[in-house]
Amino acid sequence: MSKPSEKVKATAKTRCEQGPPQDIVPQYISRAKTTDVIDFSLLICKANSQALVYLDTNLLTKADGQDQVSLTLPKLSPGFHQLYWNVFGVADKDWQTRADIRINGIVSFLRRRKNSDNNPTLTGFWVVEII
């Protein structure tokens, strides 16, 4: 018979696995106002890597060996904008990522990826129309 502590270890979730049971990937372009606060967070679990985050064609951040990237987007002008991220150098076979975007604190996008997925991609993007 297993000890209770062994069961807890077996079912413990990583930070990348936590949150709602389903990802939130809009099938449409998100909308926000020029006054809205847009926050982006990328978690990298069970891996050592480099993450690049772009807004349109501008590099917002380059994170080497960090397990989390968190940033607030600059105020955006009216029109369409694309946030794009990529994770490089993942050598661990059990890697996981979790990206989420919040508009005024409300989750607008949540995507988890892991090596065992049918589509284990290390990139992501989100399009927003600023009105």
The residue among 41, 43, 46 whose CA lies nearest residue 83 is: 41
Please report the pLDDT score of residue 4 as a whole number: 54
Domain contains 8: no
1 part of a folded domain: no
Residue 126 pLDDT greater than 60, yes or no: yes
Do residues 20 and 98 make contact, with C-beta atoms less than 8 angstroms apart? no
104 in a structural domain = yes
Domain that holds residue 93: 13-130
Decide the pairing of beta strands 96-103 and 38-45: antiparallel
pLDDT at position 119 is: 63
Q: Is the pLDDT of residue 125 over 60?
A: yes
> Minimal CA–CA distance to 83: which of 73, 93, 92?
73
Residue 2 falls within a domain, yes or no? Answer: no
Whether 130 has a pLDDT exceeding 90, the answer reads yes
The answer on pLDDT for 31 being more than 70 is yes
| The predicted structure's pLDDT at residue 41 | 96
Q: Is residue 5 part of a domain?
A: no
Buried-state track 100-116, b at ≥16 Cβ within 10 A, e below 16: bbbbeeeebbbbbbbee
Work out the average pLDDT over 48-74.
93
Instruction: For residue 114, give the CATH number of its domain.
Output: 2.60.60
- CA–CA separation, 20 vs 98, rounded Å? 12
Q: Is the pLDDT of residue 8 over 70?
A: no
- pLDDT single digits (tens) 64-123: 888 899 999 999 999 999 999 998 876 667 888 999 999 999 999 999 888 877 666 688
Nearest to 47 by CA among 19, 68, 30, 67: 67
Which residues partner with 107 through β-bridges? Answer: 102
Tell me, yes or no, whether 76 lies in a domain: yes
Ranges of H-type helices in 22-83 = none
Is pLDDT at 54 greater than 90 in this prediction? Answer: yes
Asked if residue 81 belongs to a domain, the reply is yes
Domains of the chain: total: 1
Asked if residue 61 is part of any domain, the answer here is yes
